[in-house]
Structure 1
Amino acid sequence: MNVEDIKARLSRLESLHSAFEEKFPLLYGENDRERFVEILRGLHTISREKLELSSALYREMVGSTYAENQAKELYRNEHQMKFRIEELLSLLAKEDYDAKLKLSTAMDRLAQFHRVYDYAVRKALSELAREVEGLELLAGGENQKKVPVGILEELRKIKTLEAELEALKRFLFRLYAHPGDVHKVEEALRDWHSRGLLWVEARNVEKLSGVRNAEEILEGLALIGVVEKKMRGGEGVYRHRSYSPD
């Protein structure tokens, strides 16, 4: 793992993302078709380079679980954005009636994805930048470029265990003080599943259950294996294990 290469890629990605976010709002309200296509092509050029850089970054981070996951999330979002832009460009290149009907839907999908895209990308870049700071600290000198990822990973595991212990302590307190809240949260999660939503955000569980800070309970349930958790768009989502396909 070459720290200087990673820093350079991160710096370039941050610069490109700022340029992308500055240009993206120009799509809204643009009624001139040629100008719209011109803006979209400019975004596509930026998006293509961002995807290439995030792919290279992902390969560099293989072996460091946390950093690898962040790089994977970054790559996933960049790939999705490039796909959405190319979908629009493809439809704009056609003149048939069917393409015109699909154009509005494709633009809506792009706009909807962009709402979570900016946050997710900035979060991933921020987390990766912190990882690089740790790598530099472990490097122990300007002339040492190669860093043993295993050391940083062990430190990461310790921090993760500490965070999980704190989450478990909060859950056990809620379970002891208000056991009914735990039942309500679990039932609300099941209720969402029965409505067809397989992965549920904490705020939706909180809204349905009426339990404040439901995420604390969901985190605890995830730690003891009652529910599953994954990250989506920079936010945790949950699924009850009784609804797992396994």
Structure 2
Amino acid sequence: MNVEEIKSRLSRLESLHSAFENKFPAIYGEKDREALLETVKALHTVSREKLEVAAGLYREMSGVGGYAEAQAKELYRNEHQMKFRLEELLSLLSRDDYDSRVKLETAMERLVQFHRVYDYAVRKALGELTSEVEGMALLTGGEKEKKVPTGIMEELRKVKMLEAELGTLKRFLLRLYTHPGDVHKVEAALRDWHSRGLLWVEARNVEKLSGVADAGEILEGLTLIGVVEKKMRGGEGVYRHRSYSPG
């Protein structure tokens, strides 16, 4: 495993992602078909390179295993999905028949919806991988090639996770002390969604129904104290109140 090569790939991905995110807003509200086509082409060019770099990174991290490999896999999966969405748009924009025009609006909605999850998921994976690689660099002591003991990396990851959870819990308790009504509203909104038949609920839906800003932060706190369950779906956290859990 070449730590310097991995760091180089991560740096390149961060640069490409920033370029991609700077270009992406141009698709919103664009009415001119030709202008939209050019914008999507530009995004696809960046996306294609991102996927290529992410694939190389995934191959490198597969030799490490554990959490680092899982994050590299998640990064690759999101880049592959974004490239697919953009290619779907390119195909529809290259034709001007009635059927393509009808499908274009739906494809745009799917792309925009996915992008809401994509940006966060990619930045999170890049951040986690950067931290993992920094740990590897310390453990390898400057050597170019050396396999890092997976057990050590897993222990370091657990420490980082505990630190993150402690920070989340502190923010939740402060919110509970200063604005207890917000916590009750978020919990009530989550239950409300369940009563409507939605078993797992996204944070933004809870925020919309409760009217509480940053509802996701409260949901994370409720998860830590055992009131709410959380799982990942499509790179995004979804929540379920334990009173609605089976059994």
TM-score, with structure 1 as normaliser: 0.74
Structure 2 partner of 1:56 = 56
**What is the alpha-carbon distance in structure 1 between the residues aligned to residue 26 and residue 175 of structure 2?**
48
**What is the alpha-carbon distance in structure 1 between the residues aligned to residue 39 and residue 206 of structure 2?**
40
Structure 2 partner of 1:190 = 191
**What is the alpha-carbon distance in structure 2 between the residues aligned to residue 32 and residue 174 of structure 1?**
47
**What is the alpha-carbon distance in structure 2 between the residues aligned to residue 232 and residue 73 of structure 1?**
12
Residue 192 to residue 6, structure 1, CA distance change in 2 (3 Å): same
**What is the alpha-carbon distance in structure 1 between the residues aligned to residue 228 and residue 153 of structure 2?**
29
**What is the alpha-carbon distance in structure 2 between the residues aligned to residue 46 and residue 103 of structure 1?**
21
Structure 2 partner of 1:37 = 37
Structure 1 residue 19: Cα displacement: 3.0
**What is the alpha-carbon distance in structure 1 between the residues aligned to residue 217 and residue 32 of structure 2?**
47
Aligned length: 244
- The SS at the match of 1:122 is helix
Given that 2:3 and 2:144 are in contact with CA atoms closer than 8 Å, whether structure 1 keeps it comes out as: no
- The SS at the match of 1:239 is strand
**What is the alpha-carbon distance in structure 2 between the residues aligned to residue 121 and residue 49 of structure 1?**
15
Given that 1:3 and 1:146 are in contact with CA atoms closer than 8 Å, whether structure 2 keeps it comes out as: no
- The SS at the match of 2:148 is coil
Structure 1 partner of 2:2 = 2
Structural mapping, 1:157-236, within 5 Å: 157-161=158-162, 163-164=164-165, 186-202=187-203, 204-205=205-206, 208=209, 218-219=219-220, 221-223=222-224, 227-231=228-232, 236=237
Structure 2 partner of 1:12 = 12
**What is the alpha-carbon distance in structure 2 between the residues aligned to residue 30 and residue 211 of structure 1?**
34
Residue 144 to residue 38, structure 1, CA distance change in 2 (3 Å): same
User: Which segment is superposed worse, 226-235 or 35-44?
Assistant: 226-235
1:60-84 CA distance string (max 9 Å, x none):
334232x334323322321221121
Structure 1 partner of 2:127 = 126
What is the letter of the counterpart of residue 32 of structure 2? N
Residue 195 to residue 68, structure 1, CA distance change in 2 (3 Å): farther
- The SS at the match of 2:54 is helix
* RMSD over aligned Cα atoms: 3.9
1:110-158 CA distance string (max 9 Å, x none):
2343344334323322232222112111111244543223212112123
Given that 2:201 and 2:239 are in contact with CA atoms closer than 8 Å, whether structure 1 keeps it comes out as: yes
**What is the alpha-carbon distance in structure 2 between the residues aligned to residue 172 and residue 22 of structure 1?**
36
Structure 1 residue 238: Cα displacement: 1.0
Structure 1 residue 243: Cα displacement: 4.8
Given that 1:4 and 1:145 are in contact with CA atoms closer than 8 Å, whether structure 2 keeps it comes out as: no
TM-score, with structure 2 as normaliser: 0.74
What is the letter of the counterpart of residue 136 of structure 1? A
- The SS at the match of 1:228 is strand
Structural mapping, 1:70-109, within 5 Å: 70-109=71-110
Given that 1:7 and 1:132 are in contact with CA atoms closer than 8 Å, whether structure 2 keeps it comes out as: yes
Given that 1:189 and 1:240 are in contact with CA atoms closer than 8 Å, whether structure 2 keeps it comes out as: yes
Structure 2 partner of 1:155 = 156
Given that 2:117 and 2:236 are in contact with CA atoms closer than 8 Å, whether structure 1 keeps it comes out as: no
